[in-house]
Structure 1
Amino acid sequence: MTLAIMQPYFLPYIGYMQLMNLADTFVLYDDVAFINRGWINRNKLLINGQEHLFTLPLKDASQNKRINEVHLADDPKWRGKLLKTIEQGYRKAPQYGAVMPITEKIINFTTDSIADLIYASLVELNQYLGITTRLVASSSVYDNAELKAQARILDICKQEGATRYVNPIGGMELYDKPTFSEAGIELNFIRSQRVAYPQFKNEFVPWLSILDVLMFNDVPTTKAFLTHCELI
């Protein structure tokens, strides 16, 4: 059984979705410290041919709080503003008609929790793409927050009965293959390959939100892109 663990990211880039697609169970690591100016509540879209960073407004966000303790801003106007930005950027994209209703459902999901919003958004994306990976919020299951770093990852793997753990390649210095092997778990790292596709008539801008991929590519093409990665 293949397990992957990542902090919850909103409308993440395709490498995040590739990792999720590889896993039988994907743990949203939502009871660890919130990261300011990270990718939990931000991502990038294509607006007027240029990379555009959007941010979900939060209330009293702090690195002293866990992700599942962080709330969205009280002012609901950000939802309409974000949807308007997406409409302006993508209304002429080939898959706009199919993808915009899902986008509206995600952004208008009723909650004040950034963690809950991201969980719901990933459920919607997986249903659209036919990804059957089981999603689990770490705060709801494992009761091991006292453990840190590699020890906690190993404990989650053991609780889930995982035989393989896959991590983004950026974590190669954090985890030790012999230690995982001693626990009966194979450790692999995923390296995403560059995915390119037409974005109107503009020069291609890579590594944007999965929303950009979906606006320009149908489901079969996007599912093929999910395999554009390698394990090491």
Structure 2
Amino acid sequence: MKVAMMQPYLFPYLGYFQLVNAVDVFIFADDVNFIKGGFVNRNKILFYNEERYLTIPCLQSQNKCIKEIQIYKETKGYPKNILRTIEQTYAKSPFFADVFPMLESIFNSEVESISKLAASSVESVSKYLELNVEFKFSSVSFGHTKGQDKSTRLISITKELGGDTYMNPIGGAKLYDKDFFESKGIKLDFLESKTITYPQFNGHFTPNLSIIDVIMFNSIEDVNKLLTKYSLI
């Protein structure tokens, strides 16, 4: 069994979904500190062929866990302005009619926390893409491991699930030691995405955008092909 754990990101980039698709159990790390300026409450789309952030307004304070951060729903124009921006950008994309109702449902949901909204974006897109993966929240299922250091916690969680492999994006190669994981009986794999392109409006490809961009321009079948374009290191 393969396991991965990441912070819940708002409609994250394709590489995040490559990791989701590569494992059996994916855990949303919602009991770690919320970092302002990250991708928990925002992500990038195209807007008239230029990058633009979609940002969920949040009530923030120092040293709060992601699960404690509430959406500031009193913000003027929320969420209508976000949905309007997406519609203005992608109304003429080939899969707009398939994707936009899902986005409306997520952004108009009654959830109060950014953790649940971001996780919902990942779960909904995974369902749309027909990915076979089980989702869990670290605060709910593994709160008892929170005091452990990062590597030990990931090993403990993987073992508790009956897993034998922990997977992490390639950036984790600077943080985690394969030999240490191996000494504890867990294989550690790093996922490195290959160069990916697909048709966008103007012929010039803008990489590393939200999955929203990917599913607006690609069929479910084609997105699933893109999800396999990575190497394990």
TM-score, reference length from structure 1? 0.97
Amino acid in structure 2 at the alignment position of 1:130: E
| CA distance in structure 2 between the aligned counterparts of 1:113 and 1:168, rounded to whole angstroms | 25
In the TM superposition, what whole-angstrom CA distance separates every residue of 1:212-231 from its partner, at most 9, and x where no partner exists?
Answer: 00000010000000001110
Per-residue deviation at 1:177? 1.1
Structure 1 unmatched ranges of 5 or more = none
| 1:73 matched to 2:72 | yes
Aligned twin of 2:202:
201
CA distance in 2, matches of 1:69, 1:176: 31
Corresponding residue of 1:27: 27
Q: Match of 1:16? A: 16
The aligned counterpart of 2:152 is 151
Q: Which residue of 1 aligns with 2:117?
A: 117
Partner of 1:231: 232
Query: What SS is found at the alignment partner of 2:190?
Result: strand
Which position in structure 2 is the counterpart of 1:64? 63
Matched residues in 2 for 1:122 and 1:197: separation?
21
Instruction: State the SS of the aligned residue for 2:132.
Output: coil
**Alpha-carbon deviation of 1:210?**
0.3
Runs of 4+ aligned residues of structure 1 deviating over 3 Å after TM superposition are: none
Write the distance in 2 (CA, Å) between the matches of 1:98 and 1:54: 20
- Mapping for residues 213-232 of structure 1, pairs under 5 Å: 213-232=214-233
Instruction: Label 1:46 to 1:163 Cα distance change in 2 as closer, same or farther (>3 A).
Output: same
CA deviation digits over 1:35-65, x for unaligned, max 9?
Answer: 1101111110001011111211001x23500
Query: TM-score, normalised on structure 2?
Result: 0.96
- Provide the secondary structure at the position in 1 that maps to 2:79: helix
Q: CA-to-partner distance for each residue in 1:57-98, whole Å, 9 max, x for gaps?
A: 001x23500000000003163211100000000000000010
For residue 175 of structure 2, what is the aligned residue in structure 1? 174
SS of alignment partner, residue 78 of structure 1 = coil
For residue 231 of structure 2, give the secondary structure of its aligned residue in structure 1. strand
| Distance in 2 (alpha carbons) for counterparts of 1:99 and 1:141 | 31
Are the aligned partners of 1:194 and 1:206 in contact in 2 as well (CA < 8 Å)? Answer: no
Is the 1:35–1:63 contact (alpha carbons within 8 Å) kept by the matching residues of 2? no
Residue 148 of structure 1 and its aligned partner are, at CA, apart by 2.2
Contact 2:192 2:232 in 1 (8 A): yes
Q: Is the 8 A contact 1:18 1:226 kept in 2?
A: yes
How many residues end up aligned between the 2 structures? 231
Identity %: 41
CA distance in structure 2 between the partners assigned to 1:203 and 1:119 by the alignment: 31
**CA contact under 8 A between 1:35 and 1:62: conserved in structure 2?**
no
SS in 2 for 1:136: strand
| Structure 1, 120-129 or 41-50: larger mean CA deviation | 120-129
Q: Which residue does 1:162 correspond to in 2?
A: 163
Contact 2:2–2:164 (CA under 8 A) maintained in structure 1: yes
Distance 2:180 2:162 in 1: 16
CA distance in 2: counterparts of 1:139 and 1:32, whole angstroms: 9
Question: How do residues 30-45 of structure 1 correspond to structure 2 at under 5 angstroms?
Answer: 30-45=30-45
Aligned partner letter, 1:161: G
Alpha-carbon distance in structure 2 between the residues aligned to 1:186 and 1:155: 13
Gap runs ≥5 in structure 2:
none
